[in-house]
Amino acid sequence: MNSIRQRAGKLLLGSLKRNAMVHRPSLSVTRPYSILNQLPPARRRIITPWFATFLLGGVVLSGYGGFILYQTLTMWPPEVRSDLRNAVRAKHKGDLESSEQHFHRAWNTIQTLPIDLLGSQPYLKLTGMAVALADVLELSNKKQNAYDVYVHALKLLQQDQVKATLTGPERLRAVAISSKLGELAKELKRSKTEEEKWLVWAVEELLRIVKGPSKDDSSEDVDYRHQGSFNLPMLALPSWISKTDIGAPLEALGSFYAGSGRLDFAMPLYLQAISLLIPPAPKKSTPEDRCRGAQLMGNLSEMIMRGAPTPETLHQAEAWASQALAVTKKARADASKPIVQCEEVYAAALFNVATFRDMAGDKKVARSLYRDGLEHARSIGMTEGVVEASRALHRLDMGDGAEVKMS
């Protein structure tokens, strides 16, 4: 598995390079900048459930951003405080229109201020304001406007004279925004190329961040104690990156490629994400992360099965499914209390391994795993799992297995 991962590392970089369509927009920012005047009306809302849970790292991109703003009002320059306060208050009351107006004004104002007025990590604050505005726009279903605000915020971070000054958290902010743009591009049905551009930039920047020391010389932000303990050679993880943040852009891009049928691009990304979420011993990761990794193993297994089944692909796919099951079992045993995601991944893993055994004609093990899966799915109220496992058991009892013909 290790060698697969290593190869994947190389493959990934290769595939990213092949995608030379990644152009960094160059922008000269003119301030003040009013976005809202120039925008077409909001477009149709398209719900993508996967992305709803995506990007835990972007907590600031959610309503939580508003909370932070409120808690730390005093760290903002006086020029924007009252708009900020009003914006946050209006948002809490559900008056999105008024909230948007105030955030918009605060965003325009803050861009006219000298950057040093914003104290340490100024770009976290500057783009935080943009993100807060965009969040309200999203909530008002003005996704197109939100998109433009995010684009603008990202471009501020990508300016040549700014890039070199950014601290780790500021660079991660750029990763989060770029990932968010990928998500919105999809919802807004922008071109695949555009969606890909954002997702690829996020992954590339992420890899640049974890690869080398950041430009950040306030070294208390950075923890290099774990240097070299990850199996990706370039990884020296600064402490401010939780692995949750790290896996997300890789997962997003992997999912994008999987969705467009480019499995050769998708697979190495999944492998990278898995090896970040489940680092090899002696490094440990949380049960949550391990379950997330196990879920990706399940995705990988499923992806491998999309091709015509041959003995090798079947074997490979089953190996990943079994690995997912083993990881989940261990993570559940290690967790001090049940973790929703782990429980669901566990149900899926039981079902997947059962299916492979079923296909191999190993009815006895298949039946027992389906039963475990059924029981477990029932215990967590996972209807889909209950239905699928019952159906499979019924089919087994009818003597009609799921054996496959090898090509």
Ligand X SMILES: *[C@@H]1O[C@H](CO)[C@@H](O)[C@H](O)[C@H]1NC(C)=O
By CB under 6 A, name the binding residues for ligand X: 50, 251, 254-255, 258, 295, 299
> Cβ closer to ligand X: 123 or 351?
351
Rounded CA gap, 327 and 355, in Å? 18
Q: Between 237 and 291, whose beta carbon lies closer to ligand X?
A: 291
Residue 375 C-beta: closest distance to ligand X, Å: 20
Task: State which residue, 80 or 331, has the beta carbon closest to ligand X.
Answer: 331
Q: Do residues 42 and 141 touch, judged by C-beta distance below 8 A? A: yes
Query: Residue 210 in contact with residue 237, Cβ under 8 Å?
Result: yes
CB of 24 to ligand X, least distance (A): 25
Do residues 328 and 345 lie in contact, with contact meaning Cβ atoms separated by under 8 Å? yes
Nearest approach, Cβ of 270 to ligand X (angstroms)?
7
CB atoms within 10 A of CB 140: 15
Q: In 335-403, which ranges are continuous DSSP H helix?
A: 340-359, 363-379, 383-397
Closest to ligand X by CB, 168 vs 268, is 268
Cα angle 98, 179, 84 (rounded to 5 degrees) comes to 25
Closest CA to 316 of 334, 331, 302: 302
Do residues 152 and 107 make contact, with C-beta atoms less than 8 angstroms apart?
Answer: no
Distances (CA, A) of 171 to 118, 205, 338: 17, 8, 34
Which of residues 181 and 347 has its CB atom nearest to ligand X in the complex? 347
Query: What SS3 class is residue 148?
Result: helix
Report the alpha-carbon distance of residue 118 to residue 1 in Å, rounded: 47
Task: Tell me how far apart the alpha carbons of residues 404 and 161 are, in angstroms, rounded to a whole number.
Answer: 59
Residue with smaller CB distance to ligand X, 170 or 245: 245
Min dist CB 42 to ligand X, Å, is 26
Dihedral, 307, 309, 313, 314 alpha carbons, nearest 10: 130
CB of 263 to ligand X, least distance (A): 12
| CA nearest neighbour of 361 among 308, 407, 399, 319 | 399
Q: How far is the CB of 82 from ligand X (least distance, A)?
A: 42
- Nearer to ligand X by Cβ, of 96 and 176: the residue is 176
Taking the complex as a whole, the smallest distance from the CB of residue 258 to ligand X amounts, in Å, to: 6
CB of 253 to ligand X, least distance (A): 9
Of 151 and 258, which has the nearer Cβ to ligand X?
Answer: 258
Dihedral sign, Cα of residue 137, residue 68, residue 59, residue 49? negative
